[in-house]
Chain A
Amino acid sequence: MIKVTNLTKQFGHKKAVNDLSFTVKKGEVLGFLGPNGAGKSTTMRVVTGFLPPTSGEVRICGLSMVDQPEEAKKKIGYLPESAPLYDGMSVRGFLRFCADMRGLSGSAKAEAVDRAIETCFLQTVYRQAIDTLSKGYRHRTCLAQALLHDPEVLVLDEPTDGLDPNQKHEVRNLIKRLGKDKVILFSTHILEEVEAACTRAVIVDQGCIVADGTPDELKAQSGSDSLYDLFRKVTTTDTAPAKASADA
């Protein structure tokens, strides 16, 4: 379970995340929606322990990310936004290294790497150097490292970004399949993804949650049965401050 309580993350004077609270339970796939710069990635970085919170608390399966970071991090598989990888390594070499980092060894490590290669459809490229891979394969390689240790919690930051329609379809199906017995938090700004893969969604704007519910509840809130309309209604566009100053 992911339990985030009154989470605030401040960079200098700017509050990227402002008093955010939410819970994701086992079997739930929570879609984290919001415009660019809403604080989605910052929230995910705090939830995964990469950034410390300015205030508030993050608990992963009951473990505090601040007090027991190493134990809490063991429970999480994380796909960062840009799917970063070590370019000089082969796909399998990279996954082996990540398995080492996850404390796997011997046959458990070999099995985990083979399973992740199979789950993410990397059979044709696993010997290839990462810097020769297409964007879709790079993304799936990074997703594979998140699944290696069969984590209870998956945090995926824009997992379908930059993928072609076929790959998006595969990844959404994978998320749905994994979501049955895991806790999944994934961010996106593609609205159809919410209906395709989420059991619940929150819309974040300027670091705050502005809407929360199942996809159907959210559509009902919009008044026109459209997530698009609700998204437009509750979020601020990044051109709004410029427009306001121009009007003034």
Chain B
Amino acid sequence: MTIKQTLKLCFLLLIFSCASSKISKIEGERLTIDENINPKTEIENFIKPYREHVNKDMDNVISYAPETYTKSDGELNTAIGNLMADAVYDEGNPVFYKKTGKYIDFVLLNHGGIRSIISKGNVTTRTAYEVMPFENSVVVAAIKGDKVNEMMTYLANAKRAHPVSRQLQLTITADNEVKSATVHKEPIDVTKTYYVATNDYLYNGGDGMTFFKPNDGLTVLDYKIRNVLIDNFKKTDTLHPVRDNRFIKLNF
């Protein structure tokens, strides 16, 4: 070995001895958390008082559902969606009137905002939390008739059962064009101001709902959608939500 070769080897040795650790092998697996694993006592004991406090409220029976209602049991309107939109109208309208001296014209919510089913049997506070876990609140936007028309076009194109309250009737054609739209059985008047209740998420453009702005004013009711449902359920011994013709599509 020449001196040059020796130096080269020493240099290589130096490199390798200083080199950072290299990954030689990687193993990946997914572990299932199920009843075969015993809960850790310390953690279980820590959760217990929180669980008991929450459950005491959650298991409170506030109504009864004769059937199971899901957001997929109708094409453009569902029993559960109609129930929610009508509850926002029925509970929100007195609050809005008290604040402004005016009445809500109708309600629009979003299909994605129905987060769970209502199961047949006892309806508890937990049901309301499951259906509406988010903290969104009711707001009422004063929008002109042309904005309401924009909303109708949006609904016709969305092809989803976005919940609307019973004061609105929208019929669309097989080609997803607005065939007719009425509020309180009257055609939409572009010069008129409508008071539309929704939630703060949609008001701020959630789900691509851009028609709430610009507007002629906003009233924040400081009333969570979930509390609307709880208050509404408490007043109703047995829920009877139905699918109807408030938002329908023609076959031709």
A and B assemble together: no
Seen from chain B, the residues whose Cβ lies within 8 Å of a Cβ on chain A are none
Seen from chain A, the residues whose Cβ lies within 8 Å of a Cβ on chain B are none
